[in-house]
Structure 1
C-alpha cells in the first residue's frame, strides 16, 4: 500500500472517530505517523482531503462488491445469505462505514463530493444491479424497485451495527423482507 492509501486510511479513521470536523491535514499527518505537511502534498485543500477519504471508502466498497460471489442456483434463503454475507463484509470495515455515514450527512449540500457515496456512483450502480439480478432470479415482481429497498435495508442494518444502536438479527430481518416480496 502506498502513502496516498495510508493517508486516506488515516483520514477514514479520524472521520469515523470524530466526524468530518476531525479531518484536518495536521490530524491526518499525526494519525498516519508521517512528518507534518505530508498530507498537503497529496491533498492541498480540505476539499481535496475530503475527496481522498471519499475515494478510499468507495474503493473499499468496490473491493467488497468485487469479492461477492453469486451462486448459480438461488432461492430466498440463498439471497438472504448473500445479503447477510455482504453486510458482514461491510461491517468488518466499521471505521469506513462510520466515516461514510458521517460524510453522507456532512456533504448533503455538496453533490460532487457526495456522489461517490450515493446511487450516482458507478460502484453503487453495480451494487443495485447485483441486488436486482438476485431478486430477478428468484422471481420478484419488481426487481429494480425492490433492489433499491434491499440495498437500503442493508444500509439500515449496517447503521445499527456500526452505531451500536441495538442488536439485530440480520438474517431474520432480511429473510422477512425477501419472503414478503411479491412474485411474478
Structure 2
C-alpha cells in the first residue's frame, strides 16, 4: 500500500472513530487498533493529533468540493427557484445518506476548535459555499445577495444538523419523505 493510500485509510478511520466514539475516542492507539496496524503506525504518518485533524479537515473539504462538482447544479440564472430547491435537496439528502460520519466528525471538530481560528475556519467553510450561494441570489435578483447567501448557508447547516443529530434524526435519508422535507424547507426559504 502506498504512503498516500495508507494516509487516506488512517484519515477515513479517524473520521469514523470520531463519529462513533466522539473526539475523546480519537487517539493514535485507537486508530492503530481499529486498522489492525502495528503500534505507532498512525503516529508515523501523523506525528501529532493536530496533524491528523488538519488531514481530516482537508479530507472533508476535498470530498465536499468533489461532491458539489459532481452534483452538476443548473446555473442559477437558468433554473427556477423550485428546481434549485429540489436540486439542493437531492444533494443534501445524498450527503446525509453517504457522508453521515463526515458530518458528525465535522461538527464535533468545529465545536472543539473554536479557539483555533485557522482550523475552525477551514472546517466551518468545508461543506457549503457562501460564494456559490451569493451567485444564486444575485442571479435571482435578491436585493442583498451577501446577506441572503450567509443566511441560506446557515439554513443548510441547520437542516443538516437537524437531520443527523436533532429533532429529525429519525427521518432516514434516501427516502421520499427525506427529499420532501428538505425540498419543502429550502423552497420556503428561497421564496421569502
TMscore range, shorter length: 0.7 to 0.9
Corresponding residue SS for 1:51: helix
Contact 2:19 2:102 in 1 (8 A): yes
Moved over 6 A (4+): none
Q: Which residue does the alignment assign to 1:87?
A: 92
1:146 shift after superposition: 0.7
Structure 1, gaps ≥5 residues long: none
Q: Distance in 1 between matches of 2:33 and 2:69?
A: 32
Cα distance in 2 between the residues matched to 1:130 and 1:68: 13
CA distance in 2, matches of 1:152, 1:17: 25
Q: Distance in 1 between matches of 2:88 and 2:142?
A: 16
Find the residue that maps to 2:141 and give its secondary structure: coil
Residues 49-73 of structure 1: CA distance to partner in whole angstroms, max 9, x if unpaired?
2222222112211212222312242
Q: Does 2:38 match 1:35? A: yes
The farther-off stretch of 101-110 and 56-65 is: 56-65
Question: Matches of residues 29-108 of structure 1 in structure 2 within 5 Å?
Answer: 29-72=32-75, 73-91=78-96, 92-108=98-114
| Distance in structure 1 (CA, Å) of the matches to 2:30 and 2:50 | 15
Query: Which deviates more from structure 2 when the two are superposed, residues 154-163 or residues 31-40?
Result: 31-40
The separation in 2 between residues aligned to 1:109 and 1:116, in whole angstroms, is 13
Instruction: Tell me, in whole angstroms, the C-alpha distance in 2 between the residues paired with 1:133 and 1:82.
Output: 16
CA deviation map 1:24-53 (0-9, x unaligned): 001111222322211111111121122222
**Distance of 2:130 and 2:188 partners within structure 1:** 20
Q: TM-score, normalised by structure 1?
A: 0.87
CA offsets, 1:129-177, max 9 Å, x none? 1111122222222222111111111111111111153247111111111
Residue 96 of structure 1 deviates from its aligned partner by: 0.3
Cα contact 2:74–2:84 (8 A) shared by 1: no
List alignment gaps of at least 5 residues for structure 2.
Answer: 172-177
Matches of 1:68 and 1:77 in 2, distance apart?
17
Note the C-alpha offset of 1:90.
2.1
